[in-house]
Amino acid sequence: MFVHDENSKKKRLSHIAFIMDGNGRWAKKRGLPREAGHTEGAKTFMRVAEYCFAGGIDTVTIYAFSTENWKRPPHEVKAIMTLFASYLKRGIKEMTERNMHVTFLGDKAPFDPDTRELMERIERESAKNRYKLNIAVNYGGRAEIVNAVNRLASKGITEFSEELIESELYTAGQRDPDLIVRSAGELRLSNFLTWQSVYSEFHFTDTLWPDFGESDVDAAVDAYYSRTRRFGGVV
Ligand code: IPE
Ligand code: IPE
Ligand code: MG
């Protein structure tokens, strides 16, 4: 288990965000359909979140499906959505048992009404739980900012500020991610947390998401505590 560097000069790692990537490549390597990678990746996601919370991290965010992922072949999108729906059905019980407070980041509009209702119910019923788990589905960082501005405009606001925009983001009221981790070797954000990531630290690993384990989290946390965060100032 990783340990936090309690050295007062280091900012405590409170919020860690994961771009789970490489499910498809993991399956391909085994001669399996891409969908099998998503099934395995979903299990990894729960394990990783639990491990982070056990280690004293307050908030875990996971990028599960982007606004661009609808471009994938229909059978893959369908398989991901079916997997998502089955997780939601088990979700309320599992989240409660694990003391997780779930928020879905993203536009819920394209989901069918039953799925939407379930997402909202999980958010409501887990609201008093201790550990903050954000699941980004149908999430796009640019879309999130546009949505925030439109919401403000619909209230008649014409003069914007960072605080006002932040108050309408899907992550309103939450701390920005201290650390963003991406698996599977790609060195990009792919439209993840565009607004919130301006001063995040980054950690990239070649490990494919379904293989991502405790030692990968440990390595990411170690990397985080080796950094000096200046936020534009002088340390
Ligand atoms: C991440 O794995 C899951 C989603 C983006 C839904 P990928 O499906 O992107 O896996 P690769 O990148 O093709 O290996
Ligand atoms: C990013 O992964 C989106 C998620 C992890 C949900 P992608 O596999 O979609 O990203 P690109 O296409 O390689 O940039
Ligand atoms: Mg990918």
Query: How do residues 95-122 score in pLDDT, each as one tens digit?
Result: 888 999 999 999 999 999 999 999 999 9
Annotated catalytic residue, options 69, 134, 138, 191: 69
Closest CA to 169 of 190, 195, 187, 191: 195
Average pLDDT over residues 207-232: 97
Residue 157's pLDDT is what? 97
Measured from the Cα of 21, ligand 2's closest atom is: 5
Ligand 1 midpoint to CA 80 (Å): 10
Task: State residue 22's pLDDT score.
Answer: 98
Report the separation in Å between the CA atom of 160 and the middle of ligand 2, taken as the mean of its atom positions: 31
Per-residue pLDDT reduced to its tens digit, 65-76:
999 999 999 999
The neighbouring-strand residues paired with 202 are: 180
What average pLDDT does the segment 5-26 reach?
Answer: 92
The CA R_g of the chain, rounded to the nearest whole Å, is 18
Q: Is the pLDDT at 19 greater than 70, yes or no? A: yes
pLDDT of residue 86 exceeding 80, the answer is: yes
Q: Report how far ligand 1's centroid is from the alpha carbon of 18 (Å).
A: 13
For residue 73, the ligand closest to its alpha carbon is 1
pTM: 0.97
Nearest CA to ligand 1 atom 9: 21
Q: Which pLDDT value is given to residue 8? A: 67
Examine the residue annotation and report whether 58 is marked as an active-site residue of this protein: no
Residue 26 has pLDDT above 90, yes or no: yes
Stretch 82-104: mean pLDDT: 90
Mutate to test the pocket of ligand 2, among 19, 21, 142, 182 (most ligand atoms within 8 A of CB): 21
Helix (H), strand (E), coil (C) string for 144-183: HHHHHHHHHHHCCCCCCCHHHHHCCCCCCCCCCCCEEEEC
The question of whether 69 is a catalytic residue gets the answer yes
Any idea what the Cα angle at residue 196 is, between residues 206 and 179, rounded to 5°? 40
Angle between helices 74-97 and 113-125 (to 10 degrees): 30
How does strand 179-182 pair with strand 15-19? parallel
Q: Which of 5, 7, 21, 147 is catalytic?
A: 21
